Amino acid sequence: AMNKCYLLLLGSAPPGPVPAGTIRIYSMRFCPFAQRARLVLNAKGIKHEIVSVHLRDKPDWFLEKNPLGLVPTLETSAGEVIYESPITCEYLDEVYPGKKLLPPTHFEKAQQKMLLEQFSKVCFVTNVKILFNSEDVSELEAELKENLMKLDRVLTQKKTKFFGGDSLTMIDYLMWPWFERLEVFDQNQCLDSTPGLKKWTERMLEDPAVKVSGHSVDTYKAFYTTYLEGKPNFDYGL
* CATH code, domain carrying 128: 1.20.1050.10
28 with 63, same domain: the answer is yes
Identify whether 202 is part of a domain.
yes
Q: Which domain holds residue 157?
A: 106-206
Count of domains observed in the chain = 2
63 with 43, same domain: the answer is yes
112 with 94, same domain: the answer is no
Name residue 187's amino acid.
Answer: Q
| Alpha-carbon span 34 to 73, nearest angstrom | 8
Which residues are known to be catalytic?
31
Closest CA to 153 of 145, 173, 120: 145
The per-residue pLDDT for range 61-120, each reduced to its tens digit, is 999 999 999 999 999 999 999 999 999 999 999 999 999 999 999 999 999 999 999 888
Cross-strand pairs, 25: 50, 74
The per-residue pLDDT for range 171-187, each reduced to its tens digit, is 999 999 999 988 887 77
Give me the pLDDT at residue 140, please: 76
Closest CA to 138 of 130, 148, 147: 130
Identify whether 13 is part of a domain.
no
Residue 68 exposure: Cα atoms within 13 Å on the Cβ side: 10
163 with 186, same domain: the answer is yes
Identify whether 51 is part of a domain.
yes
Give me the pLDDT at residue 129, please: 61
pLDDT band at 2 (very low <50, low <70, confident <90, very high): very low
Identify whether 52 is part of a domain.
yes
Identify whether 190 is part of a domain.
yes
The model carries a pTM of 0.91
Identify whether 213 is part of a domain.
no
75 with 162, same domain: the answer is no
Identify the CATH number of the domain in which residue 96 sits: 3.40.30.10
